[in-house]
Structure 1
Amino acid sequence: MRGLAAPLVKLIVFAVVTILATGLLAATIANLGGGGGTKFNAIFSDVTSLNEGDEVRIAGVRVGQVEKIAIHDDREAEVQFTVSERDWLPASTTATIRFRNLVGQRYIALEQGEGQQGMKMSGGDTIPMERTKPAVNLTTLFDGFRPLFQTLSADDVNKLSYQIIQVFQGESGTITELVKNTASLTNTVADKDRVIGAVINNLNDVLATVNQRDDQLDSLIVNTQQLVTGLANERGTVGSAVTSLAGLTDATADLLEPTRPSIQESITSLNTLATTLNRNSDTVNSVLQTLPVKLEKLGRAASYGSWFQFYLCGVDIVAGPGTAPQLNLPTGLPTVNQPIYTNSAKRCTQDGLQELQTR
Structure 2
Amino acid sequence: MSRILDARTSLDLVKLLVFVLVTSLATGVLVVTIGNLGFGDSRQYKAEFTDATGVNKGDDIRVAGVRVGTVSDVEVVDRTHALVTFSVDTGTSVNGGTNASIRYRNLVGQRYISLTQEVGDTARLREGATIPLSRTRPALDLTVLFNGFKPLFQALSPEDVNQLSYELVQVFQGEGGTLEGLLAHTASVTSTLADRDQVIGELIDNLSLVLDHVADRDEQLTRLITSFRTLVGGLKKDRNAILGSLEEVSALSVETASLVDGIREPFVKDIKELRAVAENVDRNKAELDRALQVLPIKLEKIGRTAIYGSFFNFYLCEFQGRVNLPRDVSIPVTYETGSDRCDLT
What TM-score comes out, normalization by structure 1 length?
A: 0.50
Partners of 1:170 and 1:81 in 2: CA distance:
23
2:308 is equivalent to residue 307 of structure 1: no
Identity %: 29
Aligned to 2:3: none
Q: Secondary structure at the match of 1:138?
A: coil
Aligned to 2:268: 264
> How is 1:190-339 mapped onto 2 (pairs within 5 angstroms)?
194-195=202-203, 198-199=206-207, 201-202=209-210, 205-206=213-214, 208-212=216-220, 214-215=222-223, 217-218=225-226, 221-222=229-230, 224-226=232-234, 228-229=236-237, 231=238, 235=240, 241-271=245-275, 273-274=277-278, 277=281, 281-301=285-305, 305-307=312-314
CA contact (8 A) 2:57 2:71 kept: yes
Deviation of 1:250 after TM superposition, in Å, equals: 2.9
CA change 1:287–1:210 in 2 (3 A) is farther
Deviation of 1:32 after TM superposition, in Å, equals: 4.1
Aligned to 2:150: 149
CA contact (8 A) 1:42 1:95 kept: no
Deviation of 1:66 after TM superposition, in Å, equals: 2.1
CA change 1:267–1:161 in 2 (3 A) is farther
CA contact (8 A) 1:66 1:82 kept: no
CA RMSD after TM alignment: 5.9
Larger radius of gyration: 2
Deviation of 1:45 after TM superposition, in Å, equals: 7.3
Deviation of 1:35 after TM superposition, in Å, equals: 2.8
Deviation of 1:81 after TM superposition, in Å, equals: 1.8
What TM-score comes out, normalization by structure 2 length?
A: 0.51
Q: What are the superposed Cα offsets for residues 286-323 of structure 1, whole Å, 9 maximum, x if unpaired?
A: 33222212222233346574439xxxxxxxxxxxxxxx
CA contact (8 A) 1:102 1:162 kept: yes
CA contact (8 A) 2:55 2:112 kept: yes
Partners of 2:221 and 2:334 in 1: CA distance:
79
Partners of 2:201 and 2:283 in 1: CA distance:
62
Deviation of 1:164 after TM superposition, in Å, equals: 1.5
Q: Secondary structure at the match of 1:307?
A: coil
Partners of 2:84 and 2:224 in 1: CA distance:
66
Aligned to 2:37: 34
CA contact (8 A) 2:164 2:182 kept: yes
Q: Secondary structure at the match of 1:107?
A: strand
Gaps of 5+ in 2: 1-23, 76-80, 316-332, 336-345
Letter in 1 for 2:39: G
Q: Secondary structure at the match of 2:112?
A: strand
Task: Work out the number of aligned pairs and report it.
Answer: 272
2:88 is equivalent to residue 81 of structure 1: yes
Q: Secondary structure at the match of 2:38?
A: coil
Aligned to 2:168: 164
CA change 1:143–1:207 in 2 (3 A) is farther
Partners of 2:300 and 2:135 in 1: CA distance:
111
